[in-house]
Amino acid sequence: MSSQAATLSAPAAAEAPHRDSVLEVMAASMVGTAIEFYDNYCYSIAAASYFGMVFFTNVAKQNPFLATLFSFVTFAVSFLARPFGSLLFGHFGDKLGRKQTLVAALLMMGISTFVVGVLPGYDVLGPMAVVLLCVCRAFQGLGLAGEWSGAALVATENAPANKRALWGSFPNLGAPLGFFCAYGVNLVLENNLSQQTMVAWGWRIPFLLSAVLVIVGMVVRERMSETPVFQKAVKEDRVVKSPLHELAKYWKQVVLGTCAMGITYTLFYLLGTWSLSYGVKTLGFAQTEYLKLELGAVFFFAVFIVVGCLAADKYGRRPVVLLATLLTVVFSFFAPQLLATQNAANVFLFLSVGFCLMGSLFGPCGAYLPEMFPANVRYSGSGLAYNLASILGGAFAPTIATALVLAFGIQGVGWYLVVMSVVALVALLLVKEGKDVSFEA
């Protein structure tokens, strides 16, 4: 066992495991994911609006559309790095504990985001600027990968059994909070700086501000306790030396969890990233106008995370996610019509309904994925499924949607949603409801 395991195996560990208060659990699990999504949304806004001109300057002069497409490719780099981050942080999270691993993940994520904010563009470094941007994005992905799964375990492994999904909503509520902060900061900047200034240096400010959030997050994380479930696993000598080797036994759960949650990410980045680019560059909305529509609609995201989790505690995780996925199929058929013209009411309806569905899918996954794995591989298993889902559903979603619109018109986006929804439905019908009892400390 590790040195930490030996420490926890001492006589003090014979006592009942210490539990943080509800507010402490909420703060520790939510703060990191809020920063995670803030960082990711800042990047998605910059990729949709500025990176084509900053890092692909020569291409942008000839073909702005192609430059945006290239910037979306750099957006995908983070997702490709995530499975490796899941394996890295999952190994240490299941071996050494949730707390130390979460602190390290947050630090890696924060440093990478800050460096993006000071990175010179193509005019200074030429092609090397793109290489360094991708390196920063890859390290950001490694940190992001260790963040969600650890935060979900901090919440669910402290939760009463009948409220595990609700407590699992704590880290997921960081998503709309991070969304609101990222889009709010960019809206303030857009309202006060010219487009030329934003391209020159204004886009850097949101990335630099993330340093403040990371410092707050580090303070909160350092104060939290190890989860009672992991404390008990150490006491009962259930912590394995090689969690990743043990995880191989649960490959079916990883595959099915990945496919079941893929549609969640597809919705996420069609709503938050692709639609911003499409709304401004194709429909003709002003950037500030579209950001206001996004900020208004994200309220429904937060509400339905909680609604979905309350329903999941009452009716079960799989029935709730299954219903939300079926409704996403229905949404897929009328969503393209809402984006056919520059109509603010229709676009707001598209965003609001989409975020309702997104919340209903995203909320319960905080309990659904961890419950598929026992405590000794839960960090690595749930994290790997979650982050592989980000590749399947989200990594190339803006790029795919942009290409489909170019080839088939706006209806192509609807069919893309249908395909991803059907993949999720098949997986949900094959995977069993999580019934693992090792959550009990």
The arithmetic mean of pLDDT across residues 225-236, rounded, is 68
| pLDDT tens profile 72-122 | 888 888 888 888 888 888 777 677 767 778 788 888 888 899 999 999 999
Note the Cα 340 to chain centre separation in Å. Answer: 28
Could you give the C-alpha distances from 11 to 3, 14, 158, 230, 405, in angstroms and in order? Answer: 15, 5, 22, 16, 63
**Whole-number pLDDT of residue 107:** 84
Which of the residue ranges 20-29, 172-181, 245-254, 361-370 would you say has the lowest mean pLDDT? 20-29
Higher pLDDT, 240 or 404: 404
Domain count within the chain: 1
The arithmetic mean of pLDDT across residues 212-229, rounded, is 75
Whether 40 maps to a domain, the answer reads yes
Tokens of 173: 């509520």
**Whole-number pLDDT of residue 89:** 82
Whether 7 maps to a domain, the answer reads no
Whether 441 maps to a domain, the answer reads no
Whether 178 maps to a domain, the answer reads yes
Whether 8 maps to a domain, the answer reads no
Determine what percent of the chain is predicted with pLDDT higher than 90.
41
Tokens of 49: 């609006």
Structural domain including 390 reads 16-430
In angstroms, the CA 173 to CA 37 distance is: 10
| pLDDT tens profile 113-145 | 999 999 999 999 999 999 999 999 999 888 888
Looking at the predicted structure, is the pLDDT value of residue 64 above 60?
A: yes
- Measured N-to-C along each axis, helices 64-95 and 98-118 cross at an angle, to the nearest 10 degrees, of 160
Whether 251 maps to a domain, the answer reads yes
Return the exposure string of 348-365: e unless at least 16 CB atoms fall within 10 Å of the residue's CB, then b. bebbbbbbbbbbbbbbbb
Check if the beta carbon of residue 49 is closer than 8 Å to that of residue 287: yes
In angstroms, the CA 4 to CA 366 distance is: 26
Whether 439 maps to a domain, the answer reads no
CATH of the domain at 334: 1.20.1250.20
Whether 191 maps to a domain, the answer reads yes
Looking at the predicted structure, is the pLDDT value of residue 308 above 90?
A: yes
DSSP state of 130: H
Q: How confident is the model at residue 407 (pLDDT cuts 50, 70, 90)?
A: very high
Note the Cα 86 to chain centre separation in Å. Answer: 13
Q: Furthest-apart CA pair in the chain: how many Å?
A: 70
Residue type, 139: F
Higher pLDDT, 189 or 272: 189
**Whole-number pLDDT of residue 349:** 97
Across the chain, what does the average pLDDT equal? 85
